[in-house]
């Protein structure tokens, strides 16, 4: 029994215990890191699929300014440091370019919407000013005369003055939409699917 106590009190036993504990800490760390990487890849893959779906809708849309946003966050920027070691330069670069184009398309889409909103507000303001002029001219007349004149003016005014759509952002967005390529079917997409262990790969 004394020998057991002596062994447990020895440097050799303490070294073995430290090695065993260190090994389990290392294994736990690697498992945690792999889970984090898998989760990051899944998030990025889900966002890429969302961007691709929205880009397809915008390409098919007649009026680009009524479409939904392409992306609101950039998960790739948040997680790429965890995925970069599993990709070669071309795979990494193709995802970088994809996100850069997606962000530029979204900027132009927002600009188009802002132009439409400004035009609509200005049109409404101009209409209200004209309606006030009509009211001023017909102040001593019956209300139905005012209503009729304003109704006719609205019928002519709104359809005949469409909202302004800026030519430059519209043309630039069309050009960018032609340049953006699918990622999910590329080797970069396959790599992210492999990391995330995606069941749809």
The answer to whether the CB of 64 falls within 8 A of the CB of 170 is: yes
The answer to whether the CB of 75 falls within 8 A of the CB of 43 is: yes
| In the chain, domain spans | 2-196
Reported as a single tens digit per residue, the pLDDT across 119-141 is 777 777 777 777 777 776 766 67
Over residues 150-175, mean pLDDT? 69
C-alpha distance from residue 181 to each of 92, 165, 173 (Å): 14, 26, 14
C-alpha distance from residue 85 to each of 37, 45, 76, 89 (Å): 11, 17, 14, 10
- pTM value is 0.65
The answer to whether the CB of 102 falls within 8 A of the CB of 71 is: yes
The answer to whether the CB of 66 falls within 8 A of the CB of 175 is: no
Reported as a single tens digit per residue, the pLDDT across 10-66 is 666 566 656 666 655 555 556 566 678 899 999 999 999 999 999 999 888 877 777
Contacts of 181 (CB under 8 A, 6+ apart): 94, 98
């Amino acid at each position: 029994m004394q020998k057991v106590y002596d062994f447990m009190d020895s440097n050799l036993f303490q070294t073995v215990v430290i090695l065993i504990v260190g090994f389990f800490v290392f294994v736990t760390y690697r498992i945690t890191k792999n889970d984090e990487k898998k989760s990051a890849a899944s998030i990025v893959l889900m966002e890429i699929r969302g961007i691709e779906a929205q880009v397809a809708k915008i390409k098919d849309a007649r009026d680009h300014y009524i479409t939904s946003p392409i992306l609101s966050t950039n998960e790739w920027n948040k997680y790429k440091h965890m995925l970069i070691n599993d990709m070669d330069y071309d795979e990494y670069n193709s995802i970088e370019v994809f996100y850069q184009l997606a962000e530029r398309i979204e900027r132009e889409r927002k600009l188009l919407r802002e132009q439409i909103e400004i035009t609509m507000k200005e049109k409404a303001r101009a209409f209200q000013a004209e309606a006030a002029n009509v009211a001023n001219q017909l102040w001593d007349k019956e209300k139905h005369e005012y209503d009729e004149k304003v109704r006719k003016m609205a019928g002519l005014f709104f359809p005949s003055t469409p909202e302004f759509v800026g030519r430059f952002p519209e043309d630039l967005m069309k050009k960018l939409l032609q340049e953006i390529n699918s990622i999910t079917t590329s080797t970069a997409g396959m790599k992210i699917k492999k990391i995330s262990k995606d069941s749809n790969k």
